[in-house]
Amino acid sequence: MKFRISSIIAAATIVFAGLAAANPGHDHGKEEPKKEEPKKEETKKDDGKVKPYKPDTCIVSGDKLGEMGKPVSFEYKGQEIKLCCKDCRKDFDKDPAKYLKKLEEK
């Protein structure tokens, strides 16, 4: 009986170890950024030039760029945007006008 329980425990340990290796936990800021498809409103200006993003902070959170890993960078209506993380991208997408106005003030 002891042998069967030990065998079951050993088999379960091997299975769970394999699952953990196949699906590592989230490590904020260290994962490779996914290539995001541009949204409709993310188009270049007619002249093809993109205004550079000058602040060294995220316009959504106010955090210094690079503290959360590689910044999320994209273009929105001819303006380069840099955010500290993908969670800030979700907030930006909810109300881009709000954050573009903040960018103009900087």
Q: What is the pTM of this model?
A: 0.55
Residue 23 has pLDDT above 60, yes or no: no
Residue 1 has pLDDT above 90, yes or no: no
Distance of CA 33 to CAs 62, 74, 90, Å?
A: 21, 12, 14
Ramachandran region, residue 28 (left: φ > 0; alpha: ψ -120 to 50; beta: rest): beta
**8 pairs with which residues across the strands?**
none
For 78-89, what is each residue's pLDDT tens digit? 999 999 999 999
pLDDT band at 48 (very low <50, low <70, confident <90, very high): confident
